[in-house]
Amino acid sequence: MFQNPVLVVGDVMLDRHVHGQVRRISPEAPVPVVSLLGEVQTPGGAGNVAAGLAGLGCRVTLAGLIGADAEGAQLRQVLASKGVERLALVEHSDLTTVTKTRILSDTHQQLLRLDRDGDRGRFAALDQLLLDHVLPLIDDQSAVVLADYEKGVITPRVAREIIGRCRHRGVPCVVDPKKADFSVYAKATVVTPNLIEAERAIGRALPDDEAVGRAADQLRDRLRTDAMLITRGPEGMTLSAAGDVHHVPSQTRDVADVTGAGDTVVAVLAACLGSGRPILESCRIANAAAGIAVSHPGTYVVQAAELEAAWKGLSPKILNRNAAQRRLAEARRRGRKVVFTNGCFDLLHAGHLACLEGAKRLGDLLVVGLNSDSSVQGLKGDARPVIGQSNRASLLAGLACVDVVVVFDEETPVSLIELFEPDVLVKGGDYTVDQIAGADVVLRRGGQVVALPLVPGLSTTAILDRKART
């Protein structure tokens, strides 16, 4: 969807998510006992913005300050795993890499957060060294992001010089602000405070669209920015640009976790502006991306394919096999149980629904492999399918029990099962385990294979036969 170069400068962090089961309270103190299941490490702060840009296909460069410590080395590794390979990180022995460790239950509830913050003064003292790294890079960028989390990297001097260089070179500069005084972000292309940050900056409560719109206008005029975008969570976004105010409603989705939604907005906004899209269209695309991000637990990196599908009005649950594989691998790292089933699902009916809901009850994430039109035709003859694959995929994606839909062309889904490595393989019908395609692959990995009974008298073939006789 995007291939343009984007530079991210800001407070880079390492996020650790420690997952475990909680079954009892400690006899030593009134605290839960967490039985460790695993640990996931992801880039945080400006690193998450960079990961979001990489997920969209941008050629992203990340600049910031880290310590010469184990956490700094781990951060480099997780950035590389997210596709962020162009690093302009300044590593210094006097610094401590900012690290956040979250302890999570198996129901994904956050039990505790441990922060390892660096010394803001030491970060700030290296601002000239950071500028020496960053300023020469700006000329080759389509956009620049200042990801300020008030950890000390984005000093007023750093903000002013980067924004000034961007303005001089005609490079869009997107700012995610955390400072109480927004004046340091003056003349940026767009500043993106959330509602609380905007209320603090303007000095009053903003209870409705009209109040937020006036505040966006005032902040834009005061800072002499091209635009001001106030993100408002479930109320969507409010954009002030070129003398007009636009309210962009939020995308209606089940909210699983709002963590990182602001990073997603900033990343998509920069990618869009860097590719020449108008500011209002860029905000609407960023809004769609935020809707995808919050529908996933934890910090989620929105991929180009699912954003493109959502922007076209398609369900973000419909993924190609590579995007699905990345999502499932991340889910397993977070301790989630993946269930896979497959079928043609031509003329979706109550029997299909019973099977899919039964499959979902066996795990946390249900993936449906859907036979393509050519695959169905090969299995059932030239008269099938009755419903085309894009419509069948959309119907499946509309079911609450289905989390991912992947279309495949082969006669059987074995290649998908090998790629996805599900914990549970489910098939509806009177099958024995040895008759279920891919069962050997799942059992070899220690997984489970389940055959669910069909609803009597309900099948697409039976429905079509009855229709033909009438």
Q: What is the pLDDT of residue 461?
A: 61
422 and 298 share one domain: no
What are the catalytic residues? 263
CA distance 25 to 18: 18
The binding site for ATP comprises: 194-197
**Which pLDDT tens digit goes with each residue over 298-341?**
778 888 888 887 787 778 889 889 889 988 988 887 788 999 99
Q: Rounded to 5 degrees, what are φ and ψ at 274? A: -65, -25
Flag whether the pTM goes above 0.85: no
pLDDT of the residue at 457: 61
| Number of domains present in the structure of the chain | 2
Name the token pair of 414. 């074995």
| Statement to judge: residues 268 and 150 lie in one domain | yes
d(CA 464, CA 166): 63
Residues 160 and 188: their CA atoms lie apart, in Å, by 9
Q: What pLDDT, on the 0 to 100 scale, is given for residue 470?
A: 62
Question: At which of 313, 340, 358 does a domain end?
Answer: 313
For residue 330, what pLDDT is reported? 81
Are 78 and 140 within one domain? yes
Q: Is the dihedral of CA 301, 307, 310, 315 positive or negative?
A: negative
Full 3-state SS string of 44-55: EEHHHHHHHHHH
Same domain as 336, residue 309: no
150: left (phi over 0), alpha (psi -120 to 50) or beta: left
**SS3 call for 309:** helix
pLDDT of res. 201: 95
Q: What is the CATH number of the domain that holds 436?
A: 3.40.50.620
Query: Is residue 303 located within the same domain as residue 331?
Result: no
Residue 464 confidence (pLDDT): 61
CATH code of the domain containing 105: 3.40.1190.20
CB of 133 closer than 8 Å to CB of 161: no
CB 28 within 8 A of CB 80: no
pLDDT at residue 246, rounded to an integer: 96
Instruction: Give the structural domain span for 238.
Output: 5-313
Q: What are the counts of helices (DSSP H) followed by strands (DSSP E) for the chain?
A: 17, 18
Q: Are residues 194 and 302 in the same domain?
A: yes
Q: Does residue 331 share a domain with residue 186?
A: no
| Torsion region of 8: left, alpha or beta (phi above 0 gives left; psi -120 to 50 gives alpha) | beta
What DSSP string runs through 195-250? HHHHHHHHTS---SHHHHHHHHHHHHHHHT-SEEEEE-GGG-EEEEETTEEEEEPP
One domain for residues 71 and 150? yes
Is 183 in the same domain as 229?
Answer: yes
Write down the pLDDT at residue 256.
60
Res 268: pLDDT: 97
User: Residue 308: its pLDDT value, please?
Assistant: 85
| pLDDT of amino acid 245 | 96
Do 300 and 414 lie in one domain? The reply is: no
Looking at residue 259, its pLDDT comes to 73
Same domain, 103 and 78: yes
* 367 and 309 assigned to the same domain: no
Tell me which of 313, 343, 372 is where a domain ends: 313
- What is the rounded distance in angstroms from the CA atom of residue 101 to the CA atom of residue 327? 22
Element housing 404 (H / E): strand 404-408
Q: How far apart are alpha carbons 380 and 68 in whole angstroms?
A: 62
Task: Note whether 389 and 397 are within 8 A (CB).
Answer: no
Ranges of residues in the chain with a pLDDT under 70 are 252-257, 456-470
Last residue of a domain, one of 278, 313, 348: 313
- pLDDT of amino acid 462: 62
